[in-house]
Amino acid sequence: MEFIFLVSAIVIILCIASSGISNKYGVPSLLIFIFLGMLFGSDGIFKIHFDNYVFAERICSFALIFIMFYGGFVTNWKIARPIIGKAVCLSTLGVILTAALTGLFCYYVLGFDLFESFLLGAVISSTDAASVFSILRSKKLNLKYGTASLLEVESGSNDPASYMLTMIAIIMIGGESLGKLGIMAFNQIVLGIFSGVVIFLFAKLMLKRASFMKDGLDAIFVFAIAVAAYAFPQIIGGNGYLSAYLVGLLLGNSKIKNKTVLIHFFDGITGLSQIAIFFLLGLLAFPSQIPAIFLSAFCIAIFLTFIARPIAIFAILGPAGCNIRQSLLVSWAGLRGAASIVFAIMAVSSGVDTNNDVFHIVFCIALLSVAFQGTLLPWVSEKLDMVDNQDNVLKTFNDYQEDTEMQLIKTYIPESHPWIGKSISEIKLMIDILVVMIKRGDETIIPKGDTIIFAGDFLILSGETYYDDGNVMLSEIKIEEGHPWLNKTLRELELPEETLVMIIKRADGATIIPKGKNRIKEGDILVLSGYES
C-alpha cells in the first residue's frame, strides 16, 4: 500500500512539473498527462498492468463530477447571458446532430454495426471542458464576440447530453424497448434539473445561515454538495452530470461567503481530477493495440473535425447571426477529451457486445483532437482575427488583484510632497504597509529605516492581498458614444451610495487608478464595486 501511495505522489509531481513544458512549447498539458500514463502502463517503460475498466470508470466518473461542477461554478452569468441561448443549442441540438452525422459515417462508410455506430457517435459527440478550459485560460485567449464564454459554457454543459445519448445507445444494443428509452430520456432531463435546483437551494440556505462554516469547513461542505448533486439524481434515474453542472452554475453566481476561497479550492480539486482522469486513461490504454484501429479512428477524427462538427455549428450559429469567422473558430475548438473516453469506458464496463475496440478508437480520436486541434487553437484564433486583447472583468476581487498586480503599489513623490526629506522611519504609513523599493532615475534602492525620500522618487509599497468574501459585487461599464457619463469627471458622477469606481481601463490598454479629476473618455471601461448594471 505504501508503494502505491509513493507512486501516486510521484505521478502527481511529474504531471505538475510537466505543465511547464506545456506553457513553454504550447502542448496541451492534458496530452502530457496521457503520455505519462502510457509511459507507466503495460506497453510503457514501467510495465504497470492495468485493464480494470470497472475500477477506471468509477474513478473517472467521480473525478468528472468536479470538472462538471467547477465548469458551472466559474461561469460568470452576466458575461454568459448574451450567448446562453446559442450555448444551450450547441450543447443539446449540436451534440445530437454531431452524434447522428458521425454515426451515419461509421455505418455507411466504415461498415460498423448500426447500433455500434450510434454508440460511437454518442460517445464522442461532446466537446471536452477540461481541454477547452485549460487551453483558453493557460494561453489567456480573450476572444471576440463573447466566443470564449460561448466555448466554455458549451463545453461545460454538453457532457450531460452526450452521457444521455451514450446510455440510450447502450440500452439499444441491449435490446430494450423504445418505450423504455423515452422514459429514460425524460427522467434524465427532468429529474436532473429538479435535483440540481433542490440541492442548490439547500446548499445556499446552509451557506447563508450555518454558523459552523469556518476554518475551511465551507469548502468541504461544497465538496460534499458537488458529490450529492451527482449521486442523488443518479439514484432516482436522473442525469447526475446535468445536476452537478447546474448546481455549480447557480452557486457560483449567488452571493455566498468565501467565494474566492471556494474558487481556489475547486481549482485545485479540478486540476487533480484532470490529472487522475488523463493519467488513468493513459494507463488503461495499450499502445500496441492502436495500430489495428488507427485507420478507423483517424477517418472518424477527420470526419468529425472537418464535416460533422462544422455542419452542426453552422446549422446553429448561422441562423443566430454569428459571422463566419466566429463559427469557424467554434467549430475548430470542438476538442474531444476526458468525457468521451470516460463514456467509452462506461460502454465497455457495461458489458455491451461490440465488434470493434470502442475504447481504443475513442482514445485515439481524443488524442488526435487534443494534439492537433488543441495545439493549433491559438494559431487558428490569430489567423481568423478572433483574438480580443481587452480583458474581461473577472469574478472576484482576488482575480482583479492577480490581473493588475495590486499586491504591489507604485506611488510617485512630486515636488512639495510632505514626505520629501524624511526618512522611511519618519513617514506615517498604514499598519502592514511597507516600502519595499525606491526607484530613483535608473537606480533601484532597497530602503532601510534611515533612507531619505527625494522629489521624483517612485515608492513601491506592499500590503497584504485582500481575498473577497463574495459580498462585494464587481461590474464593468463600457463608455460608448451617447453614454451619459461620457466626458464627465468622476466627481461629477451621481453614483449610488457605497459605489466606487475602482479602475479605469483605457481603450489603448492603459490602467488608471481613478481620482475625482479623471475625465471619462469614449472607449473607457469602468470597473465599479457595489454597482449593479
Q: DSSP for 20-50?
A: HHHHHH---HHHHHHHHHHHHSTTSSS----
Average pLDDT over residues 289-300: 91
Evaluate if residue 517 carries a pLDDT over 70. Answer: yes
* Residue 143 DSSP code: B
Residue 439's φ and ψ, nearest 5 degrees, are -100, 115
Average pLDDT over residues 407-427: 84
pLDDT for residue 78: 72
Evaluate if residue 16 carries a pLDDT over 90. Answer: no
- Find out whether 38 and 53 touch, Cβ atoms under 8 Å: no
Closest of 144, 103, 151, 105 to residue 127, by C-alpha: 151
pLDDT for residue 27: 58
Confidence of residue 345 (pLDDT cuts 50, 70, 90): confident
Q: Which of 135-139, 234-238, 254-258 has the weakest average pLDDT?
A: 135-139
Closest of 473, 349, 123, 91 to residue 245, by C-alpha: 91
Average pLDDT over residues 474-500: 82
Alpha carbon 198 to its chain centroid, in Å, reads: 24
pLDDT for residue 464: 61
- Name the β-bridge partners of 409: 461
Confidence of residue 130 (pLDDT cuts 50, 70, 90): low
Residue 437's φ and ψ, nearest 5 degrees, are -165, 145
Average pLDDT over residues 117-128: 91
Evaluate if residue 198 carries a pLDDT over 70. Answer: yes
Q: Which of 34-38, 258-262, 411-415, 523-527 has the weakest average pLDDT?
A: 258-262
- Report the mean per-residue pLDDT for the chain: 81
Q: Which of 159-173, 217-231, 509-523 has the weakest average pLDDT?
A: 509-523
Closest of 225, 226, 217 to residue 258, by C-alpha: 217
Closest of 168, 528, 97, 115 to residue 331, by C-alpha: 97
Residue 377 has which C-alpha cell?
A: 487553437
Name, of 25-39, 457-471, 510-524, the range with top average pLDDT.
510-524
pLDDT digits (tens, 9 = 90+) for 187-196: 888 999 999 9
pLDDT for residue 275: 83
Confidence of residue 466 (pLDDT cuts 50, 70, 90): low
Confidence of residue 22 (pLDDT cuts 50, 70, 90): low
| Residue 503 three-state SS | strand
Amino acid at 111: G
pLDDT for residue 25: 55
Amino acid at 483: H
Evaluate if residue 171 carries a pLDDT over 80. Answer: yes
Evaluate if residue 465 carries a pLDDT over 70. Answer: no
- Name the β-bridge partners of 519: 489
Query: Which of 311 and 159 is assigned the larger pLDDT?
Result: 311
Q: Which of 22-26, 154-158, 394-398 has the weakest average pLDDT?
A: 394-398
Spell out the residues 6+ positions from residue 391 whose beta carbon is closer than 8 angstroms to its own. Answer: 142, 403, 505
- Find out whether 232 and 243 touch, Cβ atoms under 8 Å: yes
Residue holding cell 458551472? Answer: 72
Evaluate if residue 32 carries a pLDDT over 80. Answer: no
Q: Which of 237-251, 260-274, 442-456 has the weakest average pLDDT?
A: 260-274
Percentage, residues of the chain above pLDDT 70: 83
Residue holding cell 455506430? Answer: 117
Q: Cα 407–412–418 angle (5° rounding)?
A: 115
The sheet carrying 500-505 orders its strands as 474-478, 525-529, 500-505, 511-512
pLDDT for residue 321: 83
Confidence of residue 432 (pLDDT cuts 50, 70, 90): low
Distance CA 482, CA 79 (A): 22
Q: Which of 260-269, 402-411, 454-463 has the weakest average pLDDT?
A: 402-411
Confidence of residue 396 (pLDDT cuts 50, 70, 90): very low
Residue 205 has which C-alpha cell?
A: 440556505
pLDDT for residue 20: 63
Q: How many other C-beta atoms lie within 10 A of the C-beta of residue 298?
A: 14
Average pLDDT over residues 285-300: 89
pLDDT for residue 533: 44
